[in-house]
Structure 1
């Protein structure tokens, strides 16, 4: 039986630590699972927040990972309790998993706050599950540690390695150009995804796994160990053990997710050639823990940072090689030794500084993780673009772009929405050439809804047949981290929210100057104001207003891309306190 005067150090004692009616009922109902008395002796109760789902293929192996986490929790003297949360996988979920990222974060937040857990292990994998779980846990500010599912093994096609996601975009463009036939295209299907795990390119899943490690919220090497490597299960067990100690120490997320941690992550994102999606997700996580992160931080901190990880879509290799080459600890060591790691003293979940974790990390392949004086790209930081077309900012990933297009002026070819794009792009009479700028509207947070990954518009087939491989593309949408090209994304405000993008017309001249951070629509201020004033409400009506339920909540409360696309009422840390319930 529990102590009559339990020490109120752990949250769970509010449920299980009393000898009164409430304590009786909480323990009794838990005992229907065969739990003995001694499990309620005041040991830390560790939640395992699981995004396992067979509809989220990247996370479909999480049941096994959870078992290893449980083993670690029990070994360290904790009491493991696993619970499911909404699993928003990008590959199957329509219209986009980004629509439900905030929903998943709400599920996580309320599950943590309302239940008797002293710390949580966050099982994350597919793109949006990592930010969603960190957002929800940050809102509660209890001890939390991230365990990702790991990347797939290298894809294979005709004896060569291919990268998940990136191969789809490359092969589909080749199909449209007539370079391969439909049989050749479909033959890549099975070989691209041949093991459990997330995309094996430096897409959003791998990027956010690296961000979790760079932020200090996971153990070293968590980001890169392949999903089917036995060392992934060792890390899961060690993370479970560490979660117990974190609960005892009171090592909450607010002590780890500091301003310094986010600055480290921004620098790391540039070094790895990370996804543009990290801009939105880091902003949302920072907002939940109370850290003021701005778009300009990506220029100030990420600028002039060499991209040294040679991975698809920017480079050549895949996550398997990245792990064998030393993984993120090797990148962090190289940054730290050159003075490019902004805050080497930042605290991590194992109780040590990030520099203490990596100061002796080996770098085993200079082709995959390059020396700083032989980078893949000399300045790979994500660019923030402003101008009359994006007064609140837009983003571009130079490491995935064509250098000759980073300063460009061309005439707009405009698509009012995704459906209009699909109809028009295949029109052989479309007035478009290699110098044109493809512009797509109404695909932002409110417009799509959910800001789908459609910004990397495929090129017109008639240009592909001429050998054109890249063009400047601009939209208020996002782009998959596995994609590539000279693509301007996240234009804010979006067209559906009355942003200047809504006013662009066919034939308008648009200027992109990446180095200068400029995105300009070449019309007068008066003409721009007149065009925007002439737009009717139906011109910028979000698709989702035709429905109700969660989509209506989303459109009414979602913030713009420059603010992280969180809900306005979710920003800020609400803590873990919950009123006691008296039965």
Structure 2
């Protein structure tokens, strides 16, 4: 193993630790306060020598019965604990806020910042020297990474892994992706409700996250590409024994990271974020990665912008042939070699910062330079890429002055340059009222516009941007139309969908004043999104605009509304940006 120059080889011996551990502020010595802290914890049956100066490792667990993607993390934690014990650490499991995209209303995204804040304070306020971040469902990965970045204690990620492939009548069933496809087939009259219910049983046949390249698998890949997880972590299926081995090896590694004082600020450099952005393009990753990485960069002081996403991802070919962009699922991706193969391909193409440090103590390149691709129909050669320019397209124009995003690998090539008549939905309820109306004046050439679904508007910026098409269009055999909103969409979704339009409608962005019949121009190659109106007309409409959003009167919803930033800066809270460190507070006992 070749270590990064920052890392020096060392072996755990308690008496030889180079500095006083943070946990000793609680447990060290013979004072009344030390005995208070140690004594209470001993009621769990821990012997005295566990408090002798060995590192206390917090295992931050997002397990919850109401977060089904993370439902197996309690069992996986036992392997992490085994690794920590083996390396001479003292593991303590800590339950933390868990927001599931499957169940949380109005949307799990509204609670990502709350979870990050709770994680940050759980780390800062307790006797922890390093942490293992147990994550899975979409928002748990960014929220724990954000909290860890703000606290800057040695931290490492273990993801729960994806579900096994789903199968229905001989066809792969991709979680999420199949749901969107089949629900449209119902409206088109090409699938029965009974068949839809039968297919439901095939969609989730094992523990784990979505088996498509949805947001959960994308963010697992981002954690690995950033260097915050051990190499190979992202793709191992949840129920594969190798997932448990990865967990145990991670437990061993965090103890050494504490000794080396290897922190998120050492790993989450600009070079690491550049690697992640290019990786997202190569895997056909979720548009949700944009807001999550922008928020994470804000926590560590890296000046990352939407323009970086467009510049770095524009020439990256999408080579991972997975739904929703391709045809395979995460299980095949793992068997083909997983993310290390993708990182090697990027390195060979000059698109990887090879010297970026990872939690292993090695550089990214040292970890992946010798891996092999075992299936070139799953991880494609560049000349057979799904699209030669993957990444995330960042659009600007008078309809999106601060930017909007589109995922080219999931869009229809025929719609990448399009001009159409706007059909406007004022909010998600207006959309639901109108979309199935046979009298709705819409055809496949129109542009569907959804307002008031951004961070403040929904609230929380829900995954509703991939609006289902009207039945009258679906019955023609049409499966895609241009759709524009200030919302997000699921990473499992697909289509020519313009998302994250900023400023959002709820704060008076130009999207707010679009009317039925306005002409809109989309030009993805030239990164242009244009409302075809004279500027004087736009200015007059904006001057006359009044918000229809009711501000929350109290509680977390009020805090969210008052402090959330725009999607173009990560939709984080303005007061959470930056690293506040892990200094121990005053002991009041």
Bin the TM-score by the shorter chain: over 0.9
Tell me whether 1:73 sits opposite 2:106 in the alignment.
Answer: no
Give the aligned CA root-mean-square deviation in angstroms.
1.3
Cross-structure match for 1:395: 405
Q: For residues 137-184 of structure 1, give each alpha carbon's deviation from its aligned partner in whole angstroms, at most 9, with x where no partner exists.
A: 000011000000000000111122110000000000000000011101
8 A Cα contact 2:215 2:492, kept in partner: yes
Over 4 Å off, 4+ runs:
3-8
Match of 2:576 among 566, 570, 577: 570
Task: Measure the CA separation in 2 of the matches of 1:272 and 1:4.
Answer: 46
Cross-structure match for 1:420: 430
Q: How much does 1:537 deviate? A: 3.2
Look up the SS of the partner of 1:392 in the other structure: strand
CA separation of 1:389/1:228 partners in 2, compared to 1, >3 Å: closer, same or farther? same
Cross-structure match for 1:322: 333
Cross-structure match for 2:473: 463
TM-score (norm 1): 0.98
Q: For residues 432-480 of structure 1, give each alpha carbon's deviation from its aligned partner in whole angstroms, at most 9, with x where no partner exists.
A: 1111000000000000000000000000101101111100000000000
Task: Measure the CA separation in 2 of the matches of 1:281 and 1:130.
Answer: 9
Task: Measure the CA separation in 2 of the matches of 1:85 and 1:579.
Answer: 20
8 A Cα contact 1:4 1:19, kept in partner: no
Task: Measure the CA separation in 2 of the matches of 1:16 and 1:560.
Answer: 43
Tell me whether 1:531 sits opposite 2:541 in the alignment.
Answer: yes
Match of 2:373 among 328, 352, 363: 363
Tell me whether 1:407 sits opposite 2:413 in the alignment.
Answer: no
Cross-structure match for 2:525: 515
Q: For residues 368-387 of structure 1, give each alpha carbon's deviation from its aligned partner in whole angstroms, at most 9, with x where no partner exists.
A: 00112221111111100000
Match of 1:346 among 340, 356, 364: 356
Map 1:48-127; keep pairs closer than 5 Å.
Answer: 48-127=59-138
Q: How much does 1:5 deviate? A: 14
Deviates further, 12-21 or 127-136: 12-21
8 A Cα contact 1:455 1:479, kept in partner: yes
8 A Cα contact 2:454 2:500, kept in partner: yes
Tell me whether 1:442 sits opposite 2:452 in the alignment.
Answer: yes
Tell me whether 1:550 sits opposite 2:569 in the alignment.
Answer: no
Cross-structure match for 1:474: 484
Q: How much does 1:529 deviate? A: 1.1
For these two proteins, the number of residue pairs brought into alignment is 576
8 A Cα contact 1:105 1:136, kept in partner: yes
Q: For residues 534-563 of structure 1, give each alpha carbon's deviation from its aligned partner in whole angstroms, at most 9, with x where no partner exists.
A: 12233xx15xx2452101100000000001
Task: Measure the CA separation in 2 of the matches of 1:351 and 1:8.
Answer: 20
Task: Measure the CA separation in 1 of the matches of 2:254 and 2:23.
Answer: 15
Unpaired runs of 5+ in structure 1? Answer: none
Cross-structure match for 2:6: none
8 A Cα contact 1:6 1:17, kept in partner: no
Cross-structure match for 2:382: 372
Unpaired runs of 5+ in structure 2? Answer: 1-13
Look up the SS of the partner of 2:400 in the other structure: coil
Cross-structure match for 2:301: 290
CA separation of 1:521/1:578 partners in 2, compared to 1, >3 Å: closer, same or farther? same
Cross-structure match for 2:501: 491
Cross-structure match for 2:38: 27
Tell me whether 1:42 sits opposite 2:65 in the alignment.
Answer: no
8 A Cα contact 2:17 2:259, kept in partner: no
Look up the SS of the partner of 1:311 in the other structure: coil
8 A Cα contact 1:510 1:521, kept in partner: yes
CA separation of 1:6/1:320 partners in 2, compared to 1, >3 Å: closer, same or farther? closer
Match of 1:181 among 192, 195, 213: 192
8 A Cα contact 1:108 1:137, kept in partner: yes
8 A Cα contact 2:59 2:91, kept in partner: yes
Q: How much does 1:6 deviate? A: 10
Tell me whether 1:139 sits opposite 2:145 in the alignment.
Answer: no
Task: Measure the CA separation in 1 of the matches of 2:109 and 2:416.
Answer: 28
Task: Measure the CA separation in 1 of the matches of 2:210 and 2:403.
Answer: 28
Cross-structure match for 1:312: 323
Q: For residues 85-119 of structure 1, give each alpha carbon's deviation from its aligned partner in whole angstroms, at most 9, with x where no partner exists.
A: 11001001111000000000011000000011110
Q: How much does 1:579 deviate? A: 2.0
Task: Measure the CA separation in 2 of the matches of 1:375 and 1:181.
Answer: 35
TM-score (norm 2): 0.97
8 A Cα contact 1:4 1:18, kept in partner: no
Task: Measure the CA separation in 1 of the matches of 2:478 and 2:209.
Answer: 31
Q: How much does 1:582 deviate? A: 3.8
Map 1:168-247; keep pairs closer than 5 Å.
Answer: 168-247=179-258
Look up the SS of the partner of 1:381 in the other structure: coil
